[in-house]
Amino acid sequence: MSKVIDGKKISGEIKEELKGKIKKLKEEGRVPGLAVVLVGDNPASATYVKMKDKTATELGIHSVKKNVEADITQDELLDIIDNLNNDDKIDGILVQLPLPDHIDEHEIIEAVHPGKDVDGFHPVNTGRLFSGQQDKLRFDPCTPLGIIELIERSGYDIEGKDAVVLGRSNIVGKPVAHLLIEKNATITICHSRTRNLPEKAASADILVAAVGRPEFVTGDMVKEGACVIDVGINRVDGELVGDVDYEAASQKAGAITPVPGGVGPMTIAMLMSNTVKAREHHGV
């Protein structure tokens, strides 16, 4: 059986480290501030926002929630973002996605100041990631960041490894591929049009599954001793399952993340980490 990569444990370690940084920032004059904007009452989004607010409060981060009606106009939403951009007590701004159909998601993301874009979706931040600018302030998307932390903190060396990413989304697939490249892995990105996908997956030392299809990755798609990161969260018959057939894959993988309890807790931990980073940059 493979080693289980415990996302709850690792995210807890990161949050403990952040508490020390937040305490120091408070002594220097001000704790980090995070504002989350929730449009409408999508149950999944509301639950996620509640978890973010709870974690921020536990860590000592100044947390602001902006819950607005689903029929808010785009201009009204842009005004809220503009006010948060100009609020000196707010270091990080997150607009919870998805947004209602009448709102232009791209325009909203671009309205957030890049220096407060703790979700890592602004074109300035994605551009700095994709062009490998490590010497400038940059916020990377939280789930991909969490994946890198999971791999490294579980004792797995990324450098020189063959990594296969299943999925090409802007939220996970593309950014995690670039973060792996920065760690000197060799990358293959697979998607719905990829030929011989099972064979490509089975060649991976590091396999990241982010396709949104329950138990898509079967045991024969996993290389012996591979590190398998399951990003999927799918509800099947009332239960949460990942994109990986956990039972089959764990017979071959050297290390594997469970669902739930793997990647999920890391996303919020890295959001808090980005918020602290933003506060450190902004100063008092």
From 96, 117, 140, 277, the catalytic residue:
96
From 15, 52, 200, 252, the catalytic residue:
52
Close Cβ partners of 110 (under 8 Å, ≥ 6 residues apart): 122, 123
Determine contact, residues 253/125, Cβ cutoff 8 Å: no
Residue 84 to residue 113: CA distance in whole angstroms: 9
The two tokens of residue 85 are 């951009």
Active site residue 119: yes
From 6, 91, 119, 230, the catalytic residue:
119
* Residue 266 CA, distance from chain mean position: 7
Give exposure, 251-263, as e/b (b: 16+ Cβ within 10 Å).
Answer: ebbbbbbbbebbb
Taken as a whole, the chain contains a residue count of: 284
Active site residue 133: no
Count CB neighbours of 152 within 10 A.
13
Close Cβ partners of 90 (under 8 Å, ≥ 6 residues apart): 33, 34, 35, 62, 64, 84, 116
Close Cβ partners of 131 (under 8 Å, ≥ 6 residues apart): none
Q: Select from 221, 218, 229, 213 the least CA-distant residue to 176.
A: 229
Active site residue 96: yes
State which amino acid sits at residue 109. Answer: I
Residue ranges of the alpha helices (H) in 60-172? 74-85, 105-111, 123-130, 142-153
Please identify every residue annotated as catalytic. 52, 96, 119
